[in-house]
Structure 1
Amino acid sequence: MLQAMKHLEDFTAENFYISAPDVDTFKYNRQLKSLTIRQTDMSDLDPGLFQPMPHLQVLDFSESKIKSLDFLFQADLSALRCLKLSSNEITVINETVFQFLPALTYLDLQNNPFTCDCSNAGFIQWVKNNNQTQVANAYQYTCSFPVAEQGNKLLDFHIQSCWMDVSFLCFISSTCLVVLTLLASFIYYFLRWQLAYAYRLFLAFLYDSRKRKAGARHRYDAFISYNVDDEAWVYQEMLPALEGEQGWRLCLHHRDFQPGKPIIENITDAIYGSRKTICVINRRYLQSEWCSREIQMASFRLFDEQKDVLVLLFLEEIPAHQLSPYYRMRKLVKKRTYLSWPQAGQHTGVFWQNVGRALETGDAPTETTDLLPGPAGR
């Protein structure tokens, strides 16, 4: 019937179709300007239906169970001026669909169950701001979803909370990045050693707590903390006297550290696994990073346990003013037991007897005990 109506301009069908018309229904009616199909289930509408209608100006699909306007993205309705979709099932509208309707001047969406949330924020803003299209009774559109918004007006929904100010977000992000960079640089330059020390103290605390719970016994009588340049002295002088003659069990990092284990864990195990720590000190020792870490760990154990666990042994005379930069060492020298190898002179046997006495002392703090022979004037 429609094939013969090549000049048909207006077509109306109400409660006529059972479902959406076939895609080829109007392929012979290229002059069609108004199309009305009401009271029909158009939920399965094929956008190809509009391909033969380049001049369509009025489209009325009211009461047709349409759920979305997505079909308009592919409909090619550049001449459409009036769109009526009242009493359908439309809940959310993507405002970008109206970019495909450049000639649209009238829009009727009454009696649709709109959702009042951020999914419709773009459509609400479009309705308020566009100057070309008249949206019929837009201020009467009501919310059906969510339940908390039911009965409220669609255009009263506050869309400000839905928009993210990208420029402000970029400003905040870049500011935070700059501040974090400056803070990280400041911490690294001024506080890196304090943080490293705090980390090691934390590890030592965990280690000590674990050992106390396990009730572990000390494996060694003393851990020897020394600079690698003094290794020959340790092996030639200290080991024969303390291990060979006196029978002490000593822990030396070159000999007794566990291979493959992180060095900081080896240091912690050695200090807490020994009754005492003997620090073999000279200028090279004070300048060594790892030696500094060892004496810091031993100092923490001294502070934590309040026991006589630290013995200082000076291999050379170090004036007081040269100890000033090493405030921790200077403080320990004022309070702890210490010995001087240069002052032993030819009486090395007495010197090693004094070291043995230091290793024999019990757990009581020795801050008030007599100092063993040390550098003059200290």
Structure 2
Amino acid sequence: MSLIPATILTGFLGSGKTTLLKRVLEEAHGQKIAVIENEFGEENIDNEILVTESKEQIIQMNNGCICCTIREDLREALQLLAAKKRQGLLDFDRVVIETTGLADPGPVAQTFFMDDEIAESYLLDSILTLVDAKHAMTQLDERQEARRQVGFADQIFISKTDLVAADEVDALMHRLKHMNPRAPQKAVHFGEAALSEVFDLRGFNLNAKLDIDPDFLTEEAHDHEGHDHPEHAPGEHCDHPSHQHGGHHHHHEDDVKSFVFKSERAFDPAKLEDFLGAIVNIYGPRMLRYKGVLLMKGTDRKVIFQGVHQLMGSDLGPAWAAGEPRVSKMVFIGIDLPQDIFLQGMEQCLV
């Protein structure tokens, strides 16, 4: 049986997760989706779509989708679904896990890597985070869970943009990009998103693509290459032209931040392994996502690297193409990570 793709849908309370989910479930896309609801809230999807008083935990919907509401362990629910699929009792193509609005998606993502049985049945495709444009600035200021959800995202959907001014949306997108430059951002109205932006994003694939907005890199370079202004971390107040959006600055000092390491020199594999092992030991719980395409001594192939919290893995990617600039790029997204320690440490692992 081929692996079942799984998508984690997260986002703060009221950000529109259920709206997006209902739209995906109701669309006639010929896919059968099993939904694991990780909460009991007023917004529960089954009161509206299923209109059933059944005490059954797994409910088959009329369009072939399945809704499974869990109180107990996610792992058990995933194993149960996979077992029923293997036995031919349930037919579905993919799983969507909707987390509670206050959840940290990290442990949910880790379930797919740490549990052998789950890893044999499922492939974690991506983490989608919904952000409510009207309330996001306050939520990001006040709640670390909201900031973590942004840091983990492979794709960010911004809902309710019609309720706020364009420059506010712009400021929000700018802020989100500093927290997570890997995740593309898209405004969605009432959950209307193309399925190609929801499924098969391969956010956890160890592939050669490192999605960092190129503007983010130039902005970073602009900030850190020895200009005569004092250095500041991304997200701090500053008034370089690249940070001015219609004349207002962002004053938000978020604890979830990202930074990028770049070098044209090759890494010494043993040194890099030691260094990454050491920082993951110390900072692992605060490291949300990190991913790189690296130039390594001793191979003509790219080395693709990524991790979530303390779990990391690497893989040989395709060969560097003729004429392609051989540059290592690594992005770190985490909570109050000491940027200088990370960047200097990476520098010391170069040949």
| Larger proportion of strand | 2
Task: Tell me the TM-score normalized by structure 2.
Answer: 0.29
Higher relative contact order (CA 8 A, sep 6+): 2
Q: Which has the larger radius of gyration?
A: 1
**Structure richer in helix, relative to its length:** 1
